[in-house]
């Protein structure tokens, strides 16, 4: 859960930011099938948001099948691995679609898109060196609780 950061000024609602954070934590393997996620109250405290907001995020994710709640015991990552993998796939596909659609709408050709991405990844190579943590991604995490 280390990677979840809330941007209170973002256009995206907080509860969706929480969902995104959790989805990605699972996609990255930081949270594994069957793992317990923080209690609504705990997560609310650490993120400094209202418990209701966390609850909404959890509820929506339960609807998607990502989470399962056990009355009085807590909330858990589903053990349905195919579903988890499907979510990861879907998120990646959506990212590609958004990228390609947007750039095509701007009139870029295939080669330009590839080049744009390549140069970005290249230029970031140097930058992302010391900042591992400012972004919160890509670092292997220790076991929780």
Rg (CA), the chain: 17
Contact between 118 and DNA by CB under 7 A: the answer reads no
Q: Burial of 67 by CB count in 10 Å (0-12 exposed, 13-18 middle, 19+ buried)?
A: buried
Q: Burial of 76 by CB count in 10 Å (0-12 exposed, 13-18 middle, 19+ buried)?
A: middle
Count CB-CB contacts under 10 A for residue 31: 22
Residue 63 vs 129, nearer CB to its own copies:
63
Contact between 42 and DNA by CB under 7 A: the answer reads yes
- Residues of this chain that interact with DNA (CB under 7 A) are 13-16, 37, 39-42, 49-53, 55-56, 58-59, 62, 69, 71-75, 145
- Residues of this chain that interact with its own copies (CB under 8 A) are 3, 8-9, 13-14, 16, 20, 24, 27-29, 62-63, 68-71, 73, 76, 88, 91-92, 94-108, 110, 113-114, 116-118, 120-121, 124, 133-140, 143, 145
């Amino acid at each position: 859960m280390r990677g979840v950061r809330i941007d209170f000024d973002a256009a995206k609602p907080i509860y969706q930011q929480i969902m995104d954070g959790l989805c990605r934590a699972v996609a990255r393997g930081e949270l594994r099938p069957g793992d317990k996620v923080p209690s609504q109250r705990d997560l609310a405290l650490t993120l400094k948001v209202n418990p209701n907001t966390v609850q909404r995020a959890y509820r929506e994710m339960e609807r998607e099948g990502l989470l399962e709640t056990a009355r009085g015991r807590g909330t858990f990552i589903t053990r349905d691995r195919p579903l988890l993998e499907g979510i990861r796939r879907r998120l990646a596909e959506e990212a590609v679609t958004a990228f390609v659609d947007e750039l095509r709408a701007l009139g870029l050709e295939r080669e330009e898109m590839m080049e744009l991405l390549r140069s970005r990844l290249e230029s970031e190579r140097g930058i992302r060196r010391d900042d591992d943590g400012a972004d919160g991604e890509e670092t292997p995490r220790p076991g929780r609780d």
